[in-house]
Amino acid sequence: MTPEQLITQRLEQVEAIMHEHDLWQTTSPQASAFESREPFCLDTLEPLEWLQWVLIPHMHALIAAQQPLPKNFAIAPYFEMALAPAQAGRPLLLLTLRQLDALFMDDAV
């Protein structure tokens, strides 16, 4: 499998986990929420909203356009801090995000 295929597979797993635990939203946040200048849109989006509405579509777009993918990219540490310990699906979501992060380390991509 190519790195792009592996990344796509992990993104699909994240989405499946979010669906399974009723974390996937059917309605997009207001357009103004995406205008944030803060990392992860901290001031305008909840962590799972950012994951669903920013990261997943952006990564799919980069892959589809055959654009360079980020290197040494890690989001799992943010989600380890941002998600409540009792968050539905947290252990599996964090595991999958760590696996996604590993695909972006050094020469993995």
* SS3 annotation, 29-53: CCHHHHHCCCHHHCCCCCHHHHHHH
Q: Three-state DSSP class for 76?
A: helix
Give the predicted TM-score (pTM) of the model: 0.90
* Percent helix / strand / coil, the chain, rounded to 5: 60, 0, 40
Q: What is the pLDDT of residue 73?
A: 87
Q: What is the pLDDT of residue 18?
A: 97
Query: Model confidence at 108, in pLDDT bands (50, 70, 90)?
Result: low
- What domains are defined for the chain? 3-108 (1.20.1440.40)
Q: Give the model confidence (pLDDT) of 16-58 as tens digits.
A: 999 999 999 999 999 999 999 988 898 999 999 999 999 999 9
